[in-house]
Structure 1
Amino acid sequence: MPTVTIDAFIERLATSPAGPNSVNQFAFSNPNNAIRRRNLGLYLHQLAERRPTVLLVGEAPGYRGMRITGVPFTNTAILQQGIGHFGLLGAANGYEVPNELPLVAAEPTATVMWRTLVELDFLPVLWSAYPLHPHRAGNPLSNRTPSPAEAAEWSWSWLALQDLFSIRTVVAVGNVAHRSIVRSGLTVPRVRHPAHGGREKFARGLHELLAEGIIA
């Protein structure tokens, strides 16, 4: 049986402090984060009903994606419209978009991620090596690569999800996630991150893992 519950997981996220040049989009200090915590809870509960066995660990939330929505690899359009193929997300399922942040263009990586998952008919748990939003100093509407120390400090989060969902296989999405997971002592497969023109290699990598039976 899992040693952590969804509610306890979100509580720990919300009460864990963010370091310099990072935003904890779940923290209790911002009233609007209640919507993000609720969105994340809905997402995790929806996944629990579907019993996924694979965890994809990416890099970190972007300011146009999970920083706004609270759900990994989503943007406002995906959160509101949902992923009909899986019956996941969407306003009809109770998801809401907080409105206190400036309107920005949708995060393209989220679109690539979900388009690929639908094409492969493959629904894993999605998460990040560093699940807070790292930004450049003085510019919260920017993204930066999390440091090895930041990823190491938050490795507890993907390890907790691994336990919570009885995950059989963890897959690193990109080099940042792979280095973080390897430092935790695991040997895991790695696929190309879908950002910055990586869609085809990302999709090909997942397809190969599925074809070889490494993930299912």
Structure 2
Amino acid sequence: MTERSELVDDFVALVADLRFDNAFNPYIDTCVDFDMPDAAAIRRSNLTKALDAALTTGVESVWVARDLGYRGGRRTGLALTDEAHLNAHAALLGAEDLRRSTRGPAVAERTATVIWRMLMQIGKPVFLWNVFPLHPHEPGHPMTNRSHTRAERQACRHIMVTLLDLLAPKAVLAIGRDAEAAMADLDIVAKQVRHPSYGGQPEFIDGVSAHYGLPKREPKHETLPLFG
């Protein structure tokens, strides 16, 4: 128990230590417009709880996207997870309560909604991550998304390798062509499924359904309740 906790704490500290220009690190940075005063600590706690639960129960697969988005992981500290699905994330992994770190109404993200529709259909513990685990944005425009650079990706390779060593998943799914190419650039083998954005939702659903042996059909539920 103590050894696992130390491994988790060391990993979270490793991610919190990352610094890049025009990239928001949700585990150490605070957004003056939306964050609560202890937002970075809450997001570190969210990641700690999720990873600890994943190590406790084990995960069959890790889903990897490109980088955090400003409506999702920037606010929650969890990849592919917006505030509307914090409860769903906790339930999926059997984690302790995951908390919001921002003020105002909970924000939903379109990609996260589709991702979580499928995760709730699968019903198996899956760990979510990003090739670049921070939120890269355009210079001077923090509420935008940009693609991380190859230099940024390579500088974070040790993070991805450490995570996969810790979790030892049977499969790694790259969400989108960009994520697959980025994983290949890191010499990590991943099966690619279509990203659900820009009209890719049906192909994403079919790809995930095929991987997990699910029937090809639209899930019935958009999301779990926000709170409670």
TM-score between both structures, scaled by the size of structure 2: 0.80
Partner residue in 2 for 1:11: 13
Confirm or deny: 8 A CA contact 2:92 2:124 kept in the other structure: no
Letter in 2 for 1:130: F
Confirm or deny: 8 A CA contact 1:129 1:176 kept in the other structure: no
Aligned pairs, number: 205
Matches for 1:57-136 after TM superposition, within 5 Å: 57-79=64-86, 81-82=87-88, 86=92, 88=94, 93-99=96-102, 105-136=107-138
Q: CA deviation digits over 1:96-118, x for unaligned, max 9? A: 11126x76741121111111111
Q: Secondary structure at the match of 1:59?
A: strand
Bigger shift: 4-13 or 62-71?
A: 4-13
Confirm or deny: 8 A CA contact 1:152 1:180 kept in the other structure: no
1:46 aligns with 2:50: no
Structure 1 stretches of 5 or more lacking a match?
none
Distance of 1:74 and 1:5 partners within structure 2: 23
* Residues 39, 10 of structure 1: alpha-carbon distance in 2 compared, 3 angstrom cutoff: same
* Residues 78, 161 of structure 1: alpha-carbon distance in 2 compared, 3 angstrom cutoff: same
Confirm or deny: 8 A CA contact 1:69 1:75 kept in the other structure: yes
Q: Secondary structure at the match of 1:129?
A: strand
Post-superposition offset of 1:54: 1.2
Confirm or deny: 8 A CA contact 2:58 2:125 kept in the other structure: no
Distance of 2:91 and 2:24 partners within structure 1: 32
1:190 aligns with 2:197: no
Distance of 2:93 and 2:49 partners within structure 1: 12
Distance of 2:89 and 2:190 partners within structure 1: 27
Distance of 1:103 and 1:135 partners within structure 2: 23
Q: Secondary structure at the match of 2:132?
A: coil
TM-score between both structures, scaled by the size of structure 1: 0.84
Partner residue in 2 for 1:27: 28
Please report the RMSD computed on the Cα atoms of aligned residues, expressed in angstroms. 2.6
